[in-house]
């Protein structure tokens, strides 16, 4: 039986992610919350009792200590009933853990599917296809009763499935299930947020000067925000260079760090970032998300294109020119547009949530 019809059969969720990236736990948390709302859950997080698991907001009794334990529990559940299996959301690329993990689960998945279990793969984005190693994931995609991608390229790469907004758009201000902001008054926000990847080329002096000019032009303070531990060193240098406030990396507790990050974004009129989920979190806190950074990739554009927020990516324009063209009037226009797109994205994620929950209760 599925998790929604028996308190004895949990839904099994594979929710591993980057233990140093708050965005990874944030975007997967809605899946845990969704399936918990209809029955018990068993989660493989890859890092039980870690700061990452804290960001998922899962209880100790919901988390398996090892993949082997989790896989065995799913196998037993498949032999006895019809457990729902939920594969990971977020960025997907073939790894040893994914490849051999899915092979280990294959017999139980085949049995569960034959008995009528639901297989769900929703809210993922495929980086690329690796020759010779995609066949288990192609099989999983074919078996999935609900297959949805979070960007505009994964459907063509995998040859099937629908699109949906990233799960992160389904989270309200403060990281909770609060409604999306229906208005974000730019004049009440006194900061400009920056969040840059530490694993790419450092921002140029020209770009930093443009940000400095923007802050003076709009009479806003700059705050440098760290949502990924690996970005901390760069953001400290940028904060020093711009004389800005710093929200640095804390003790590794993702939930606590997410709260600090969200607080900074809730006070910001806009966020400049090449981090996809830095922009997603900022947008749900009412800041205008702008990927107008020198290291921004098409990944940002592809994901925001799903929600119709075409202003987020730089397009073909020089990012310094885009920043220099910002004034209060344009800020107001972008704020209205961004708020509308986020409200719509939230409604679409909520619709997916309701559909998946209803399927468990049938």
The tens digit of pLDDT for each residue in 236-251 reads 999 999 999 999 999 9
Q: Is the pLDDT of residue 2 over 60?
A: no
Domain with 207 in it: 186-343
pLDDT digits (tens, 9 = 90+) for 194-226: 999 999 999 999 999 999 999 999 999 999 999
Q: Are residues 17 and 143 in the same domain?
A: yes
Kindly state whether residues 190 and 159 are assigned to the same domain. no
CATH of the domain at 76: 3.40.50
The pTM is what?
Answer: 0.95
With beta carbons less than 8 A apart as the criterion, state whether 273 and 291 touch.
Answer: yes
- In total, how many domains does the chain have? 2
User: Same structural domain for residues 18 and 110?
Assistant: yes
Q: How far apart are alpha carbons 344 and 115 in whole angstroms? A: 37
Clarify whether residues 159 and 19 are in a common domain: yes
CA-based end-to-end distance of the chain: 10
pLDDT score recorded for residue 7: 58
Give the span between the Cα atoms of 324 and 249, in whole angstroms.
30
Q: At 4, is the pLDDT very low, low, confident or very high (cuts 50, 70, 90)?
A: very low
218-244 burial string, b = 16+ CB within 10 Å, else e? Answer: bebebbbbbbbbebbebbbebbebbeb
Nearest by Cα to 66 from 43, 35, 91, 90: 43
pLDDT (tens digit, 9 = 90+) per residue, 263-277? 999 999 999 999 999
Q: Are 105 and 99 in contact (CB under 8 A)?
A: no
> Under a CB-based contact definition with an 8 Å cutoff, are residues 51 and 27 in contact?
no
Q: Could you tell me which of 45, 148, 75 has the C-alpha nearest to residue 359?
A: 148
pLDDT tens digits, one per residue of 28-57: 999 999 999 999 999 999 999 899 999 999
- Residues 30 and 71 occupy one common structural domain: yes
């Amino acid at each position: 039986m599925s998790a929604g019809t028996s308190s004895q059969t949990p839904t099994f969720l594979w929710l591993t992610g980057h233990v140093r990236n708050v965005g990874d736990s944030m975007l997967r948390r809605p899946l845990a919350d969704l399936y918990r709302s209809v029955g018990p859950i068993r989660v493989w997080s890859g890092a039980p009792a870690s700061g990452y698991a804290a960001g998922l907001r899962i209880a100790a009794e919901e988390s398996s200590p090892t993949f082997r334990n989790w896989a065995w529990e799913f196998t037993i559940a498949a032999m006895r009933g019809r457990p729902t299996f939920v594969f990971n959301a977020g960025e997907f690329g073939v790894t040893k853990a994914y490849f051999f993990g899915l092979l280990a689960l294959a017999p139980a998945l085949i049995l569960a599917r034959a008995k009528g279990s639901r297989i769900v793969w929703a809210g993922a984005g495929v980086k690329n296809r690796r020759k010779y190693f995609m066949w288990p994931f192609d099989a999983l995609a074919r078996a999935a009763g609900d297959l949805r991608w979070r960007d505009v390229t994964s459907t063509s790469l995998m040859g099937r499935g629908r699109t949906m907004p990233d799960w992160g758009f389904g989270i309200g201000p403060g990281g909770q299930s609060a409604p999306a902001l229906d208005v974000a008054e730019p004049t009440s926000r006194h900061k400009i947020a920056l969040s840059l990847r530490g694993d790419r080329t450092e921002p140029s002096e020209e770009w930093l000067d443009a940000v400095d000019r923007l802050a003076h032009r709009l009479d806003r303070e700059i705050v440098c925000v760290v949502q990924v531990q690996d970005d901390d060193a760069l953001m400290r240098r940028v904060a020093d260079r711009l004389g800005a406030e710093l929200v640095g990396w804390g003790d590794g507790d993702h939930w606590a760090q997410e709260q600090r990050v969200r607080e900074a974004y809730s006070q910001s009129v806009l966020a400049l970032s090449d981090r996809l989920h830095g922009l997603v979190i900022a947008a749900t806190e009412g800041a205008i998300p702008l990927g107008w950074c020198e290291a921004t990739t098409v990944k940002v554009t592809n994901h925001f294109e799903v929600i119709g927020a075409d202003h987020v990516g730089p397009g073909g324009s020089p990012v310094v020119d885009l920043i220099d063209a910002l004034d209060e009037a344009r800020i107001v226009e972008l704020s209205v547009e961004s708020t509308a797109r986020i409200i719509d994205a939230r409604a679409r994620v909520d619709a997916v949530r309701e559909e998946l929950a209803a399927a468990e209760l049938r």
